[in-house]
Amino acid sequence: MEPTLALTQALIRRPSVTPEDAGCLTLIAERLEALGFHCERMDEGGVSNLWAIWGTDGPTLAFAGHTDVVPPGPEAAWTHPPFEGHFDGEWLWGRGAADMKGSLAAMVCAAERLCQHPRSGRLAFLLTSDEEGPAQFGTRHVADVLEARGELPQWVVVGEPSSAEKLGDVIRVGRRGSLGGHLEVRGVQGHVAYPEKARNPIHEALAPLAAVAAQRWDDGYGPFPPTTFQISNMNAGTGATNVIPGTLTAEVNFRFNPGQTPEGLQARVEACLTEANCDYTLTWALSGPPFFTDGGPLIEATEQALAQVVGYTPERSTGGGTSDGRFLAPRGMEVVELGPVNATIHKIDERVLAEDLPRLRDVYEALGERLLPRLSS
């Protein structure tokens, strides 16, 4: 089996449902140590983290990513078992194939080529098992440690599945911020036949929440899509059909561009609830601010590498969800996300086109050749 494909399969066969790593980092560290990388575990809060670095001086290019995956869902619904790593000759199937164990394997195999020659600069890996979950003790923690030590890399390639229709047609150069809120609306529980003796928090919350959901927050900001608001969960009731509930809870989320501030968005939502005379508590949590890499050596090298390997120039995008780039770019690093086609991520029957994995390795290698040139002998 082709080496990049074989390593991806080995990683898929380790069922690393977040925040578990299931031995993925140990496998990767063994491969990197054989190349002369200094590998340092930075585990924290039940999360597995790895910082590995090769070279002694000069600017640092880091490959970044995560070993954790989302749960597979009902395994009986899969065409092939989600942690088998089935290869049918065209596709490699399994949870994490595209998001993002294929990228990790391609990065390791690219490093095995790059490290055959002395280079100007250093090559690093920043890996975690806490990206799909709360993301509190993963990349954020490692970046805190590296910043305190003055060891932050200059350039970071995150292996998120950025491609849309074919490998390398899209790279992510930024992401909108993510602001989540936990809402509790309090009413008075009672019998449905006597609504005058109760207060229904569902009725009270529906109109202001509908008004918030209907708002057009902006029309985008530069290369960023418009800000969006979604209600992701809502719960109320005792389970009985004849009881007015006493409370309603809801989870809400903004994906916002740099034209908005968390404080401004919070104020507009709270104004709607207050005007509706809701008795409520709304607790906000900022998952990450927007970030954007506007040109620079990393984007230039990425586009040149893609032109060399796949023969076309990618679209620069700031769409999609969040990524661990939100913990890196605000610290001054150039960040680009480049990985496989994202058509099946988080779905039943996640899979990756097998021929894309060695080509992705070649792109990562070509990118490294440009940023970390070989030293003359």
Q: Among all residues, which ones are annotated catalytic?
A: 68, 131
* CA–CA gap between residue 352 and residue 106 (Å, rounded): 13
* CA–CA gap between residue 24 and residue 66 (Å, rounded): 10
Q: Which amino acid is at 131?
A: E
Tokens representing 255 are 């994906």
Q: Which residue shows structure tokens 């391609």?
A: 106
* CA–CA gap between residue 110 and residue 12 (Å, rounded): 19
| 66, 137 contact by CB (below 8 A) | no
DSSP class of residue 227 equals P
List all residues 6 or more positions away from 110 whose beta carbon is below 8 Å from its beta carbon. Answer: 63, 361, 362, 364, 365, 368
* CA–CA gap between residue 298 and residue 304 (Å, rounded): 10
Tokens representing 313 are 């120039």
**Cα angle at 370 between 29 and 153, to 5 degrees?**
50
* CA–CA gap between residue 26 and residue 72 (Å, rounded): 23
**Cα angle at 282 between 279 and 283, to 5 degrees?**
150
Name the residue among 211, 185, 207, 189 with its Cα closest to residue 198: 189
* CA–CA gap between residue 220 and residue 234 (Å, rounded): 28
Strand partners, 285: 180
List all residues 6 or more positions away from 233 whose beta carbon is below 8 Å from its beta carbon. Answer: 249, 250, 251
Tokens representing 138 are 């993963």
* CA–CA gap between residue 289 and residue 114 (Å, rounded): 33
